[in-house]
Chains A and B, each alone.
Chain A
């Protein structure tokens, strides 16, 4: 038996918009001027929400919050490629996905303010609640895809997670089963290079994350995650493939967590200001502005108007969050089980009776 190479694998990477805002027209997905403006407005809305959430947390008006700053293009770009019927299975740092799909800003604020009712998804959206336990939602996405395939429902299921999640057994087992069952699922990793204080090389010895899909028998592609067009295109290709029975795809989006891990973290303790500054230069919103202004789609007046509109929407959402009635004690028993045990009944109605109305 001779020694021979029986297989070789390649990992492709995709970038359409460079840092100066110049697009490779051959790779540009078909997007109208209105589409591009909408993407821009969603990016700005996401950032405006994020900045306000940080301010509210400092004032003690919401709880611990994980900022999305710098990662907006992954979120908006991918979500723009989804149909309302597709499923989204998020982790905890994808608020831009929610807003792109129309999730109400005030509900999202309510969740971060410590009210689970903020995760009651509006009936027209297929978004699962936020999952803080790293990577443990990946099997859920695979299961939803299994159900969709069985029901002949031509939808795509999209799971979002971070680079840190690729170390979890749930990631590997979920990928493997998605490959074995050829399921309509798209895995999107926001590789923001950090998992709290652990840089990517502390998470994996692989050269790319994208290549991990190869081991499970499906495609993995790396895209520039600060390029909204590249993310959009890669996601669109993947969801179309999924919806038409082509099986799973893994998209690694290379981006950067510009802010702290959460409001309880201080990232300056473990990474250099130079590294952060370099990534600020690659800011996804700045990049799109450069592109749009080259095409005559952006000027300072338009930019300011978009920001004003986003600020108004966020202002209103804060007001709505703060005027929502706090939950009553009885509500914590509401959805525990269809039938409460006798002891739970006592805890609910005798030990913590509802306030007289």
Chain B
């Protein structure tokens, strides 16, 4: 299998799907000639032309609104939001329309839309441009949320999202674009939505994570192994549909769990996951589930403070050790 970056894997998924299905169009700010702010749409304009790869004016709500319309009109839009922070400018179209039109109107239409958006913190872009908004989308019934952690999953999941008839928020992590991994070449390689991955097997404790946090969780697990601690790492891959079975089975086996999320702690998705583990494994848990999360502040601009607001390998290993030291 060839090695490629997360960025190139997403790019390849876009190209393969566009070759397969002429109803796919890509639209967004600076996606054509500029090839995207993070260069994810590289080569698309050259191969597919202006009619299928469209630079839009700076109008986020309308980018999504037009995608909703285009989907009803027979296309399969893949919209790029320059960063997930600008999804906030499109929330009405996402939450009130994209998520609801099909169910409100008796299933008359499908909305096969994929909204790609890079996000996450760690690039020193201050409070309005460093957010992890996954909980917002996960909270809303009617939209799928995919958050790949590896290049292979990025490719396989994006292809599934594009082929799926439901609207999806496909959230990429800005700090993963240059990460590398093996990616299957088969253009029919798909990763199903709603299926978590056990990235590493272990017996003492289960770490549940997603996106970049899964990458940090793996590093933490490798560190902990040196201390004789064996962690299982479950990467959620999609937050909706959420594969509860995989992490519950894992937590049942290990008896302990830590949930890692990059978003704000209060009402963050980790609380829901921790609750599901408690609910299903109450009788077998050896300690309460812990959460490692962002701090409840707007992201500071300062690099030093920003680091304190985002989970790090050390905060994960510390949480794991604390859980293991608790006796009930």
Interface residues of A (CB under 8 A from B): 63-64, 111, 114-116, 132-136, 164-165, 167-169, 195-198, 202-204, 269-270, 326-327, 329, 331-333, 336, 341, 343-344, 347, 351-352
Contact = CB atoms under 8 A, between A and B. Distances in A.
Contacts of A195: 58
Interface in B277-319: 295-298, 300-305, 308-309
A347 B295 contact: yes
Interface stretch (B12-20, B27-35, B71-79, B205-213): B27-35
Interface stretch (B101-109, B122-130, B192-200, B214-222): B122-130
Contacts of A270: 33-34
Contact of B296 (A135, A196, A329, A343): A343
A132 B266 contact: no
16 contacts: A64-B125, A114-B303, A133-B89, A133-B128, A168-B89, A169-B59, A196-B34, A197-B33, A198-B30, A203-B57, A269-B33, A269-B34, A270-B33, A331-B300, A332-B300, A332-B305
B61 interface: yes
Residue with the highest number of chain A CB atoms closer than 10 Å, among B29, B61, B298: B29
A271 to B, nearest CB: 10
Contacts of B124: 63, 114
Nearest to B34: A197
B100 interface: no
Contacts of B85: 133
A100 B258 CA distance: 54
Contacts of B89: 133, 136, 168
Interface of B: 29-30, 33-34, 37, 55, 57-59, 61-62, 85-86, 89, 124-129, 265-266, 295-298, 300-305, 308-309
A204 B129 CA distance: 26
Given A270-B33, A332-B297, A343-B265, A135 B58 contact: yes
A331 B304 CA distance: 12
Contacts of A196: 29-30, 34, 37
A114 B303 CA distance: 7
A23 B85 CA distance: 46
Given A196-B34, A204-B57, A327 B305 contact: yes
A116 B126 contact: yes
Contacts of A64: 125
Chain B binding surface SS class:
loop
Residue with the highest number of chain A CB atoms closer than 10 Å, among B33, B62, B124, B301: B301
A332 B295 contact: yes
Contacts of A169: 59, 61-62
A116 B308 contact: no
A127 to B, nearest CB: 18
Nearest to B59: A167
A204 B58 CA distance: 10
B33 A168 contact: no
A344 B296 contact: yes
A269 B33 CA distance: 9
Contact of A115 (B33, B55, B128, B302): B302
A167 B297 contact: no
Given A115-B302, A169-B61, A336 B297 contact: yes
Contacts of A168: 58-59, 89
Contacts of B301: 63, 111, 114-116
Given A64-B125, A326-B304, A347-B297, 16 more contacts: A114-B302, A115-B301, A116-B126, A116-B302, A132-B129, A164-B57, A168-B89, A169-B61, A197-B30, A197-B55, A198-B29, A269-B34, A270-B33, A332-B300, A347-B265, A351-B295
B29 A329 contact: no
Residue with the highest number of chain A CB atoms closer than 10 Å, among B34, B297, B308: B297
Q: Closest 3 interchain pairs by CB?
A: A167-B57, A197-B34, A114-B301
A343 B29 contact: no
B256 to A, nearest CB: 21
Residue with the highest number of chain B CB atoms closer than 10 Å, among A164, A165, A202: A202
A320 to B, nearest CB: 17
Contacts of A164: 57-58
A331 B89 CA distance: 29
Contacts of A134: 58
A314 to B, nearest CB: 22
Contacts of A165: 58
B302 A327 contact: yes
